[in-house]
Amino acid sequence: MPDRKTPGPEQARARISELHSLLNQYNYQYHALDEPLVPDAEYDRLFRELLDLERLYPELIIADSPSLRVGAGPLNTFSEVEHKVPMLSLANAFTDTDMQGFDRRVRERLEVDGVEFAAETKLDGLAISLLYEKGLLVRAATRGDGYKGEEVTANARTIKSIPHHLAGKDYPTTVEIRGEIIMERHAFDQMNKQQLQQGGKLFVNPRNAAAGSLRQLDPTITAQRPLSFIAYGIGYHSDELIYDRHTVIMEKIRSWGLPVSPDLTRVQGLSGCERFYQQIGKRRASLPYDIDGVVFKVDRMDYQRQLGFVSRAPRWAIAWKFPPEEETTRVVAIDVQVGRTGALTPVARLEPVFVGGVTVTNATLHNEDEIRRKDLRVGDTVIIRRAGDVIPEVVSVLMEKRPADSVPFIMPTFCPDCGSAVAKSEDEAVTRCTGGLFCPSQCIQAIWHFASRRAMDIEGLGDKLVEQLFRNGHVRNVADLYELTLEQLSGLERMADKSASNLLNALEQSKTTELHRFLYALGIREVGESTARTLSTHFGTLDRLMHASVEQLLDVPDVGPVVANNIHAFFAEAHNRDIIDRLQKNGVNWPQPDMNRPRPLDGKTFVLTGSLATLSRDEASDKLTALGARVSNSVSKKTDYVVVGDAPGSKAEKAEKLGVAILDEAALLKLLE
């Protein structure tokens, strides 16, 4: 991680926890809701930071780290589909050096001097799998989290470029075609013109339009949208499908009546990859659809099988991303926003600038240290990098255009919202308001977090409504939510009786939850979803957790001194205990565990690798931890068992070398019984 000294273990643990929360939220907004919160460049930066920290401290990698999974889980408005072969993501290359490293690793693992790659454009759309049985389209599903997606068969059948029956006769009995749902630029522009004429909602970009169109509950709406499909490979297939090269099977897919990239070609070695990358880069603006890079795959299938997978991506493929589009504009102001944990985040207000099809007016500046590093000031002309979203990244300052009277930015010494003093600890870059629940911004953010989908999942309670409820005095803390009345809600701006009744029903439904979701909803600092789940499993009941000492908290796997002290301090606060008591009196509940239930796997460490046919990784982890086991991501001499599913990674090989016991899925299920 450039420009930073190497963090200590506890700093790393705290930052990894923060990155988990951010990346999980951004994944969910981008993949499940089609409402991205940050540019791709910012997500990639955070993701690379997480990878760097996990390389430094592999013992801090946990089973549900964003680095080990793809995307986000499906919405409950569609039926769930489990992929027989996981739909993995691709590793990214951002520089020549990254690409050279990929080529070198491939050659070294294969022990060859050169490799042929299949090369094609990286489409900016929504990944989908199409399952054909005896040539008939029987199911279509989104990628979801890579292991489970949403069934969208009725919608996919409305897309003209997806055949209902494969052409020819040489297709397998069962074959799953994978590809991308896109909307071409001219079709996107025409659709937005029609939306404007009809007074409808304008779409931000073709990718969001394609994703939103495919995931309509009413297939007749999807049928009206100009969607296209382009195949990029095969997932599950019956045994009779035999091929020796990726480019050969892509031509076979084309012969079955499915479109493939017209730019698909075979290139020789690194030099061939570099030439293809440059050629596509020059043609990028003239292509009929949006792309954000090119994809290279080792062409020989026996080489692919030999290279295998890491937990998140194949070793035999990489996406070489294009530099994000950039523009210049001027900083007209730097405001400071207050978040749920009191973090003060500077935000640059910009002269409106059109970057990559989107007009942007602000950019997050992260923290005071980031501003100092870039020496950013009000009045500066800056380079803005667009990375596929409304919120851009400030890349650098054009010093030659700096006004003579500019002054350095100074972080306020008092909270801009509540006037409380601010503080900055030595071990983190973030400045925080000390006002706590006295601070309106922190209260509003805490209430919104409590209601969010991954927490209490109170449908219809968005950030704007939370702010309105707070400003009107109806809700001052999360317990007040369950004391709202129909009269209070229907009196709010843009809130009719039906909307008010729907919200009351959603509040009632949210009362029945799970302990780990409730703990996450409380917003205890550094306690993300994973830690909340671990705490729930370890202590079993809320009462035991609330009365745990710091020493007892330190006995919990993956809980260090910082997190332990945060948890202990939270439950020591009388105000927090009062709110929890009110929530339970208002009916918030969760299943109580059988404390006499045996925990036969206490002290045992498990590692999962590959995909399981009957359980997702999360389900397997939950069942193991419920029996007292610890689920780790890295194999060591201390590992007791490695559970191996389909397409396992290098962990299985490492387990064999270390003499660690290996279980297949049948053995795992028997153990869980």
Average pLDDT over residues 183-202: 84
Report pLDDT digits (tens) over 15-72: 998 998 888 777 656 644 546 677 777 788 888 888 889 888 888 877 567 765 444 4
- Please give the pLDDT value at position 501: 94
Q: Which of 234, 276, 18, 56 is nearest to 131 (CA)?
A: 234
Tokens of 100: 């050279």
- Domain topology for 435-510: DNA polymerase; domain 1 (1.10.150)
Q: Report domain 515-585's class.
A: mainly alpha
- Mapped onto helix, strand or coil, the DSSP state of residue 225 is coil
Tokens of 664: 């297949």
The residues that bridge with 133 in the sheet, in sequence order, are 136, 174
Report pLDDT digits (tens) over 373-430: 889 999 999 988 765 444 677 888 999 899 999 999 999 999 998 898 988 877 778 8
Note the helical H segments in 284-439: 301-307, 368-374
Domain 605-672: CATH architecture, name and number where available: 3-Layer(aba) Sandwich (3.40)
- Domain topology for 80-321: D-amino Acid Aminotransferase; Chain A, domain 1 (3.30.470)
Query: How far apart are the C-alpha atoms of 443 and 187, rounded to whole Å?
Result: 44
Q: Is the pLDDT of residue 455 over 80?
A: yes
Query: How far apart are the C-alpha atoms of 65 and 68, rounded to whole Å?
Result: 5
The amino acid that residue 556 corresponds to is V
Annotated catalytic residues are 122
H or E stretch covering 650: helix 650-658
Question: Using CA of residue 151, residue 122, residue 265, residue 111, what is the dihedral sign?
Answer: negative
- Please give the pLDDT value at position 204: 67
Query: How far apart are the C-alpha atoms of 632 and 340, rounded to whole Å?
Result: 30
Report pLDDT digits (tens) over 506-561: 999 999 999 999 999 999 988 988 788 889 888 889 999 999 999 999 988 778 88
The CA-to-CA distance between both ends of the chain, in Å, stands at 45
- Give the helix, strand, coil percentages of the chain, each rounded to 5: 40, 20, 40
Note the helical H segments in 573-604: 574-585
* CA 87 from centre of chain: 15
In this structure, what DSSP letter does residue 28 have?
I
Tokens of 132: 């054909």
H or E stretch covering 455: none
Q: Which of 375, 380, 345 is nearest to 363 (CA)?
A: 345
- Mapped onto helix, strand or coil, the DSSP state of residue 423 is strand
State the SS3 of 521-564.
Answer: HCCCCCCCHHHHHHHHHHHCCHHHHHCCCHHHHHCCCCCCHHHH
Q: Is the pLDDT of residue 363 over 70?
A: yes
H or E stretch covering 300: none
- Please give the pLDDT value at position 495: 87
Burial group, residue 142, by CB count within 10 angstroms (0-12, 13-18, 19+): buried
Residue linked to tokens 């297709």: 171
Report pLDDT digits (tens) over 204-227: 678 888 988 898 888 888 888 999
Contact 259, 161 (CB under 8 A): yes
- Mapped onto helix, strand or coil, the DSSP state of residue 291 is strand
Average pLDDT over residues 138-146: 90
Tokens of 668: 């795992």
The amino acid that residue 459 corresponds to is E
Side by side, the strands of the sheet bearing 174-182 are: 136-142, 126-133, 174-182, 228-237
Q: CA-based angle 625:647:71, to the nearest 5? A: 65
Report pLDDT digits (tens) over 300-311: 999 998 998 876
Q: CA-based angle 318:324:326, to the nearest 5? A: 165
Query: How far apart are the C-alpha atoms of 132 and 135, rounded to whole Å?
Result: 5
pLDDT tier at 581, thresholds 50, 70, 90: very high
- Please give the pLDDT value at position 30: 62
The better pLDDT of the pair 129, 651 is held by 129
Length of the chain: 673
Contact 344, 123 (CB under 8 A): no
Q: Report domain 324-434's class.
A: mainly beta
Q: Which of 339, 409, 335 is nearest to 374 (CA)?
A: 409
Q: CA-based angle 386:390:394, to the nearest 5? A: 45
Q: Are strands 641-644 and 605-609 parallel, antiparallel or unpaired?
A: parallel
In this structure, what DSSP letter does residue 256 have?
T
* Fold: same for 324-434 and 605-672: no
User: Which CATH number applies to 9-68?
Assistant: 1.10.287.610
Domain borders along the chain are 9-68, 80-321, 324-434, 435-510, 515-585, 605-672
In this structure, what DSSP letter does residue 589 have?
B
- Please give the pLDDT value at position 452: 92
